[in-house]
Amino acid sequence: MSVTMNDVLAYLEPDEPNYAQAAKLGQDALPYLKEIIDKPEVILASKAAYLVSLIKSDKSISILEHAARNNEPIVRIAVASGIRRAGRARRIRGWYRRVLAGRGGSTAASALCGRPSDAG
């Protein structure tokens, strides 16, 4: 399946994306999602970060780590929420605690994440 940026945007642009359907784009969507995360459109970037958490691929882990360092709290919260809902917290425990729960006392991310041993 060949995925384009337009395909990815078509799933992310609605107010309430169908993330389950969008995740079926698979790892071919990951480069586009990373590109969206790096753009200044915060809402779109947060949706992209959440979607990355739902795509089961080793490549998604590095993109999530990248997104977790985003300057925008809403993007970091989307990463935290996505990781927790997708049950991936244990797999990425090393940076999960350090980047999300510990970033500058981010209580919002900490609240969403809980303790890494509690999720996933």
Domain assignment of residue 71, given as a range: 5-118
> Which pTM was predicted?
0.79
- Whole-number average pLDDT of the chain: 81
pLDDT of 64 reads 87
Count structural domains, the chain: 1
**Among 97, 95, 94, 119, residue whose Cα is nearest residue 110:** 97
**Crossing angle between the packed helical segments 30-37 and 42-54, to the nearest 10 degrees:** 150
pLDDT of 86 reads 62
Q: Residue 99 has what DSSP assignment?
A: I
Task: Return the top range by mean pLDDT from 4-8, 82-86, 87-91.
Answer: 4-8
Taking only the tens place, the pLDDT of each residue in 31-67 is 999 999 999 999 999 999 999 989 988 898 889 888 9
**2 class by beta-carbon count within 10 Å (0-12 exposed, 13-18 middle, 19+ buried):** exposed
Can you give the CATH number for the domain in which 42 is found?
Answer: 1.25.40
